[in-house]
Copies of this chain bind each other. A is one copy, B any other.
């Protein structure tokens, strides 16, 4: 049975989506058709939304689940009249918080994912630029400015992780690929030695690495299982020998890898 789920907001929808995804993931035997609908910020859009929800209810033969973070009371009331089952996030928690904080909610829309301050914006853009400029060992003379330096074989997930940490947390993360040359020397590249305390290693299962590299360079020696297995083994040996903290990225998402790195290295996010 398929069931529709709507994540509805008068802002970006990011909070409704995150919470909805988390809760629905707890029901593994049900298949959900998930739709995020941001910027439902007028009575007209709310009525159009209700029509979509009701249409889904007819197709599914059952009530769609609605997660909403709509702040505007009028819009929320319109949505509540739809044929959906509504999880009203803000209503549930704002009243107890108002009491605890002895303060009134401003009931203002789209606060959480807006630009809080210019310095926050600059911090973030600087972090993205840092990740791009210091990607793939392109530059090594700015490592004094890095919060972290990820190391690992080519295509083990260093770049997406650095970019995610930059965008999400404002962390300045460089990355350096351990290539075949370095592995024959079996030691840490000179550029990294001074910054050993900033290093974090990513490793990956050789068969997954083979699959990823084959997407990029099909049937190359670079993508062969033998080569991937050799590189991974040598790099893992290096991590152990040099005492570099590391995780295997194979079964983790970019979010999980990033969160684990920050915990392990004790690095605090720059965006608050």
List B contacts of A272 (CB < 8 A).
Answer: 34
Which 9 A-B residue pairings sit nearest by Cβ, starting from the closest? A25-B111, A22-B112, A26-B105, A12-B259, A18-B18, A113-B255, A15-B22, A38-B259, A25-B112
State A30–B104 Cα separation when bound (angstroms): 10
When the two chains form their complex, are residues B159 and A89 in contact, meaning their CB atoms are under 8 A apart?
no
State A212–B119 Cα separation when bound (angstroms): 11
Q: Which of A50-58, A92-100, A220-228 has 4 or more CB atoms under 8 Å from chain B?
A: A92-100
Tell yes or no: A195 within 8 A of B by CB: no
> Using a Cβ–Cβ cut-off of 8 Å, how many residues does chain A contribute to the interface with B?
77
State A100–B93 Cα separation when bound (angstroms): 20
List B contacts of A132 (CB < 8 A).
Answer: 132, 159
State A12–B25 Cα separation when bound (angstroms): 14
State A30–B97 Cα separation when bound (angstroms): 12
Tell yes or no: A190 within 8 A of B by CB: no
When the two chains form their complex, are residues A215 and B122 in contact, meaning their CB atoms are under 8 A apart?
yes
When the two chains form their complex, are residues B112 and A27 in contact, meaning their CB atoms are under 8 A apart?
no
Tell yes or no: A182 within 8 A of B by CB: no
When the two chains form their complex, are residues A23 and B93 in contact, meaning their CB atoms are under 8 A apart?
yes
Contacting residues of chain A (23-58) with chain B, CB-CB under 8 angstroms: 23, 25-30, 34, 36, 38-39
Q: Mark A64-105, 1 if CB is under 8 A from B, else 0.
A: 010001010000000000000101011011101100110101
Tell yes or no: A192 within 8 A of B by CB: no
List B contacts of A27 (CB < 8 A).
Answer: 97, 101, 103, 105-106
When the two chains form their complex, are residues B107 and A26 in contact, meaning their CB atoms are under 8 A apart?
yes
When the two chains form their complex, are residues A256 and B15 in contact, meaning their CB atoms are under 8 A apart?
no
- Given A27-B106, A103-B27, A103-B30, answer yes or no on A114-B256 (Cβ-Cβ < 8 Å): yes
Partner of A100, one of B65, B163, B253: B65
List B contacts of A85 (CB < 8 A).
Answer: 100
Tell yes or no: A14 within 8 A of B by CB: yes
When the two chains form their complex, are residues B114 and A12 in contact, meaning their CB atoms are under 8 A apart?
no
List B contacts of A65 (CB < 8 A).
Answer: 97, 100-101
A69 to chain B, nearest CB (A): 6
Can you spell out 11 A-B residue pairs with CB atoms less than 8 angstroms apart?
A11-B259, A12-B258, A14-B18, A15-B19, A15-B22, A19-B89, A26-B71, A27-B106, A125-B157, A128-B159, A164-B167
